[in-house]
């Protein structure tokens, strides 16, 4: 696989360099206008990137190629004038951000198995952005300021909207001709509106990164289209625009680009995480800016204000994609991030030292959380022992309730008898003795005893779990039936694999002199056929209940991933 991807990367590199060479030759001989030469590279790069899913075998090869090209473009622009990129007469980092967007979109779409959405995002970046630039430069008359020295035109934005609408609708219909036209059209309209607003307030080439990522995020969240949900998001966007426009008119503290940025943030926060999140952003918009007569908040300043809260929002939604909905717990964090960002903005340049302190206070936890989430997304995509759980005679299941992943084993086999270690009499229901299956899990004591669903999670429980305090427990549940489904995957292990799995499952249990697991006194189970037992080990953000289950499968040589704190990847790899 490595040699294959290296050869493919070499071929794409040669093709992209040839594209740059053609664009450079056209500019140096003055055979093409600056914007046309730049868009030749832009569109050609996107069209080439649309072939990645058919050529590369690993998403990391695409990420490596993107990083190499971004670094190479940056170095080339520092050493000499790259006329195909630099002759447009405006400062832009679009050349650096373009390959980064390709790599990021490909990695995210591959992780969630949504490569078709990647193709749509690339098509929007290729054609819509180019149409906006060319129409705006040729026919743009109604211009508006994004930042001093950076302008857009209403005509260019209209072209961007029209092309995006057509590209997305055609792509959705090609990808799934059976889906209703009305739903596809409504989703295409939503993407066109939101992507146009994002493009309208991007500066310095940031649209090359923001537009494809925004398009991909909406597709991941809204496919297949739900007309009711899309209608609610349109209503939220209209309400956010109205409220932020009212705030801008009353306080005169928001410029056009800043107001659009806050409205987008409010609508997306409300649509992705809940109304309270959107209300917090609208409140921040009303408080943003300085006294009357001060410089209004434009997009660059709004970006600084919304960066950390947006990171919290992104983390919350990526956790939802991973099967862990803790948005109620993260809402206070989101509000605190907005408050601290507003405080740092109000301090101004006269309080630089305090602003640096606030930056550290905000930045260190945010960076740690971002690194943890990035590691979870990356490492959970790396498969181990692929195909190794299909040739045995002992069935084992991975069962998830959305919070915890349990491993379900037969109560009795020729290899091991669990009834002597986890007696059925520990369950409240006497019929549990007849149940042929046993589901086992491990986790932090308070978290496991009190959080059966994500809505049960409180900030206090979360803090104790993150700190590693409170001890751990084993959870055992007798099941009368088990079968494959959306939350359950089957593995067929050999006797050797199963023996290794049993050893790992028991390694964390506290057992009495007779060999039985020691029950947690006074702990009520989730139902009538389960019980909690004392356990060894420390729960940390790096070793969660789901990490334990994944590690047990790894020790048994069964399909799993390199590391994950979430149940979703364990299910995915078990299938």
**Boundaries of every domain in the chain:** 1-225, 249-379, 386-574
pLDDT band at 349 (very low <50, low <70, confident <90, very high): very low
Helix (H, G, I), strand (E, B) or coil at 249: helix
- 142-151, 248-257, 341-350: the lowest-pLDDT one: 341-350
Percentage of residues in the chain having pLDDT higher than 90: 17
Mind giving me the DSSP string for 6-37?
HHHHHHHHHHHHHHHHHHHHHHHTT-S-HHHH
Confidence (pLDDT) at 354: 60
Mean pLDDT of 12-39: 81
Which of 290-304, 339-353, 554-568 is least confident?
339-353
For residue 428, the tally of other CB atoms under 10 A from its CB is: 13
Residue 452 has pLDDT above 90, yes or no: no
> What is the arithmetic mean of pLDDT over 503-510?
89
- 298 contacts: CB under 8 Å, gap ≥ 6: 145, 146, 147, 255, 257, 258
Mean predicted confidence (pLDDT) in 342-354: 66
> 562 CB contacts (<8 Å, ≥6 apart)?
379, 380, 382, 384
Res 247: pLDDT: 79
Residue-wise DSSP of 506-541: HTTB-B-TTSPBPBPTT---SSSSEEEEEE-S--BT
Beta strand 488-493 with 143-147 is unpaired
Q: Which one, of 66, 64, 71, lies nearest residue 122 by Cα?
A: 66
d(CA 549, CA 380): 13
As a whole number, mean pLDDT of residues 251-273 equals 86
pLDDT (tens digit per residue) in 463-475: 666 666 668 899 8
Question: In the prediction, which pLDDT does 254 show?
Answer: 85
pLDDT digits (tens, 9 = 90+) for 368-397: 777 887 788 788 888 888 877 777 889 999
pLDDT digits (tens, 9 = 90+) for 53-86: 999 988 888 888 988 888 888 777 677 766 655 5
- The pLDDT value given to residue 321: 65
Buried b (16+ CB within 10 A) or exposed e, 223-251: bebeeeebeebbebbebbbebbbebbeeb
Q: How distant, in Å, are the alpha carbons of 328, 331, 334, 493 from that of 276?
A: 10, 8, 10, 47
Least confident of 158-167, 325-334, 459-468: 459-468
Mean per-residue pLDDT of the chain:
83
CA distance 564 to 328: 22
Chain centroid, CA 247 distance in Å: 31
Q: Predicted confidence band at 427 (pLDDT cuts at 50, 70, 90)?
A: confident
Handedness of CA 225, 229, 235, 240 (dihedral sign): negative
pLDDT band at 433, cuts 50/70/90?
confident
Q: Which residues partner with 489 through β-bridges?
A: 398
- Check pLDDT > 70 for residue 292: no
Residue 346 banded pLDDT, cuts 50, 70, 90: confident
Mean pLDDT for the stretch of residues 356-367? 67
Alpha-carbon span 213 to 437, nearest angstrom? 44
**Phi, psi of 16, rounded to the nearest 5 degrees:** -65, -40
Q: Is the pLDDT score of 514 beyond 90?
A: no
Q: Band of the pLDDT at 458, cuts 50, 70, 90? A: low
């Amino acid at each position: 696989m490595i040699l294959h991807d290296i050869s493919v990367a070499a071929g794409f590199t040669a093709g992209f360099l040839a594209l740059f060479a053609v664009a450079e030759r056209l500019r140096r001989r003055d055979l093409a206008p600056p914007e046309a030469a730049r868009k030749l590279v832009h569109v050609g790069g996107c069209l080439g990137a649309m072939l990645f899913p058919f050529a590369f075998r690993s998403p990391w090869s695409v990420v490596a190629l993107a990083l190499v090209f971004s670094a190479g473009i940056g170095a080339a622009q520092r050493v000499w004038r790259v006329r195909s990129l630099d002759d447009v007469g405006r400062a832009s980092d679009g050349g650096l951000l373009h390959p980064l967007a390709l790599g990021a979109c490909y990695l995210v779409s591959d992780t969630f198995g949504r490569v078709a959405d990647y193709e749509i995002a690339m098509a929007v970046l290729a054609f819509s952005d180019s149409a906006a630039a060319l129409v705006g430069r040729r026919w743009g008359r109604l211009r508006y300021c994004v930042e001093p020295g950076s302008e857009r035109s209403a005509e260019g934005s209209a072209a961007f909207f029209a092309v995006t609408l057509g590209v997305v609708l055609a792509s959705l219909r090609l990808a799934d001709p059976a889906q209703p036209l009305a739903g596809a059209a409504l989703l295409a309209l939503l993407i066109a509106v939101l992507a146009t607003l994002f493009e309208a307030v991007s500066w310095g080439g940031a649209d090359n990164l923001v537009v494809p990522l925004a398009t991909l995020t909406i597709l991941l969240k809204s496919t297949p289209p739900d007309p009711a949900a899309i209608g609610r998001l349109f209503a939220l966007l209209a309400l956010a625009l109205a409220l932020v426009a009212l705030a801008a008119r009353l306080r005169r503290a928001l410029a056009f680009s800043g107001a659009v940025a806050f409205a987008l943030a409010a609508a997306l926060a409300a649509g992705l995480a809940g109304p309270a999140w959107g209300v917090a952003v609208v409140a921040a918009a009303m408080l943003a800016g300085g006294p009357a007569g001060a410089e209004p908040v434009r997009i660059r300043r709004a970006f600084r204000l919304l960066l950390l809260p947006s990171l919290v929002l992104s983390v919350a939604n990526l956790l939802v994609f991973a099967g862990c909905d803790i948005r109620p717990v993260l809402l206070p964090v989101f509000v605190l991030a907005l408050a601290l960002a507003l405080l740092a903005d109000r301090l101004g340049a006269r309080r630089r030292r305090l602003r640096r302190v606030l930056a550290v206070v905000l930045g260190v936890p945010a960076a740690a959380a971002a690194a943890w989430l990035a590691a979870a997304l990356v490492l959970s995509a790396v498969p181990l022992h692929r195909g190794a759980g299909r040739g045995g005679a002992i069935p084992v299941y991975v069962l998830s309730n959305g919070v915890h992943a349990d491993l379900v084993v037969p109560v009795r086999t020729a290899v091991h008898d669990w009834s002597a270690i986890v007696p059925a009499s520990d369950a409240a229901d006497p019929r549990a003795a007849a149940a042929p299956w046993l589901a086992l899990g491990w986790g932090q004591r308070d978290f496991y005893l009190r959080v059966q669903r994500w809505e049960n999670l409180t900030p206090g429980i979360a803090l104790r779990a993150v700190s590693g305090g409170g001890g751990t427990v084993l959870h055992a549940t007798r099941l009368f039936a088990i079968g494959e489904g959306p939350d359950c995957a089957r593995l067929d292990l050999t006797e050797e694999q199963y023996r290794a799995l049993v050893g790992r499952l028991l390694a964390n249990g506290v057992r009495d002199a007779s060999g039985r697991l020691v029950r947690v006194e006074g702990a009520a189970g989730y139902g009538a056929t389960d019980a909690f037992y004392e356990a060894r080990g420390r729960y940390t953000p790096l070793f969660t209940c789901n990490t334990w289950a994944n590690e047990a499968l790894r020790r048994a040589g069964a399909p799993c991933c390199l590391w994950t704190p979430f149940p979703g990847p364990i299910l995915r790899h078990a299938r």
